[in-house]
Amino acid sequence: MLYSQAQWLLFFFFYCFLGWIWECIYMSALQGQLVNRGFLHGPFIPIYGYGAMIVLWLTWEVRENILLIFLTGMCGATVLEYITGLAGIVLVAVYAADIAVSVQTALYLQENADDQQVCIRQ
């Protein structure tokens, strides 16, 4: 067995908390004021916990090869982000992580700032 259930739980909460700290510091520095990131009550963001657990689990078998650790972790994180983004779109109609669409939307809104209605095109 890789780790005990208690260790997995500890990893999850540790990385949720670490991710929350990282996002709060990063966003606070960008905005010039304290920003509390996350959508839950408490100082944690679950996507970081899940991401860390998936990367730990996927890279266990290739832990002797640093290139395979990198490639496996990269693929695992990409799949997690894709599934999370897809769930956000399907379940709650949130289009949060598509940078290309965000840039196109921002440019479109900037070009059409005189219009009273906001239309988002893809």
For residue range 3-37, what is the model confidence (pLDDT) as tens digits? 899 999 999 999 999 999 998 898 888 888 888 88
* pTM, rounded to two decimals: 0.67
30-38's contacts with Cβ under 8 Å and 24+ in sequence apart are none
- Report how far residue 110's alpha carbon sits from residue 107's, in angstroms, rounded to the nearest whole number: 5
Whether the Cβ atoms of residue 48 and residue 81 lie closer than 8 Å to each other: no
| 47: DSSP letter | H
- Calculate ∠ Cα 42-47-48, nearest 5°: 85
